Amino acid sequence: MSEKNLAWAASMKGECSASPALLEAIIEWAPVAIIVSDAEGLICLCNREAQAAFGYARAEMLGHCIDMLVPPAQRPSHRLARSRFLEHPAMRRMGEGRALSARRKDGSTFPMEVALQPLAGPHGPLVVSMVVDVSERERLLGELRRAATGLEEQVQQRTADLQRVNRDNLALLDALRAKSASLERLSREDPLTGLANRRDFGERLESEILRADSLGLPLSVALFDIDHFKQINDRHGHAAGDLVLRASGTLLRRKCRATDTAARFGGEEFAVIMPDAELCAAARLCEHIRLAFAAFSWASLRQGVAVTLSAGVAQHEAGAPSRAVLAAADAKLYAAKHGGRNRVAWRDDEGEVRPAPETNS
């Protein structure tokens, strides 16, 4: 079989439709070592790069088993791999992710990568092996790994030194960051109720309006006012008034949706931004809040205290500024206050302020 394949290799130029000189040049002057072996592993073709890489003359390679190019310890596994390849021949790349070694004539070895290509010969299957010496790449990778290890050790040492020297400074920096975060939170939070303050409310309203306009979604805003709050302060004192405001903030947080923003708008006035809520749905939510205020046991805070809530609800009109929806909600709140208090005003039908729609929930 080997002699026939050797003869085939010698006559291959004449059988190829390409220029014989071109074919010979492609194989002979390819920048990688090319070795063709038969099913028994006998070499029937090799180019000049293969001779240079392994240190053999062409005559010393032709007709000999390709195992001669593999270190003795790896030959059994190489034969097994070659057998499996012939059972399922397909182009494949070897050497990536694991070390493959080649053996030169002088017994020295070098790391290699091999691409295998099955080829149908006239007298049986052939295997084209393209071998690349990756010694230089492995050397450079080794140097890079050593340099990286050394650099990592230096960085770790320097980091440890800095941590020891600057431990107190780092603790101070953490304290300053925590203080800064606390101040930022306080600058956006009403200290009495824990709700957003008017500044934060204004920024969030602008952001929600931009989102609603860009996505074509509804957005509603409600303004709330505690009825007769001045009388509570006058009769029960400002401490009682603060208790009412604090409890009002808690009730609003509990009754609003997770996506809503509840804020203390000023004094006894509160505001809620309701994203994705059309006017009717927003009015229902406000009615829930009004009922919760009416049902709350205010006397548990201070004997004789009773609290009701009035609300005005408006829906943002696309393209309108934030002041427009606030003005509309304020007008509805005014209507609710002058329409009897303890109610939600959300629309006008022929001048009459109507309460929020009933709900079973």
In 259-286, which positions are buried (b, 16+ CB within 10 angstroms) versus exposed (e)?
ebbbbbbeebbbbbbbbbbebebbbbbb
- Catalytic residue, candidates 15, 268, 317, 350: 268
CA dist 95 and 101 (Å) reads 9
Q: How far is CA 116 from CA 69, 73, 126, in A?
A: 15, 21, 10
Q: What is the dihedral of CA 56, 62, 63, 68, to 10 degrees?
A: 30
CB under 8 A, 24+ apart: contacts of 184-193: 190/249, 190/263, 190/264, 192/242, 192/245, 192/246, 192/249, 192/264, 193/245, 193/246, 193/248, 193/249, 193/250, 193/264
Residue 151: partners with Cβ closer than 8 Å, 6 or more residues away? none
- Residue recorded with tokens 């440890």: 160
How far is 156 from 278, CA to CA, in rounded Å? 58
Examine the residue annotation and report whether 184 is marked as an active-site residue of this protein.
no
- How far is residue 334 from each of residues 113, 331, 353, measured CA to CA in Å? 84, 5, 10
3-state secondary structure (DSSP) of residue 259: coil
Question: Measured between alpha carbons, how far is 6 from 21 in angstroms, rounded to an integer?
Answer: 19
357 is written with which tokens? 């729609």
Q: Coil, strand or helix: which one is 272?
A: strand
The residues carrying an active-site annotation are 268
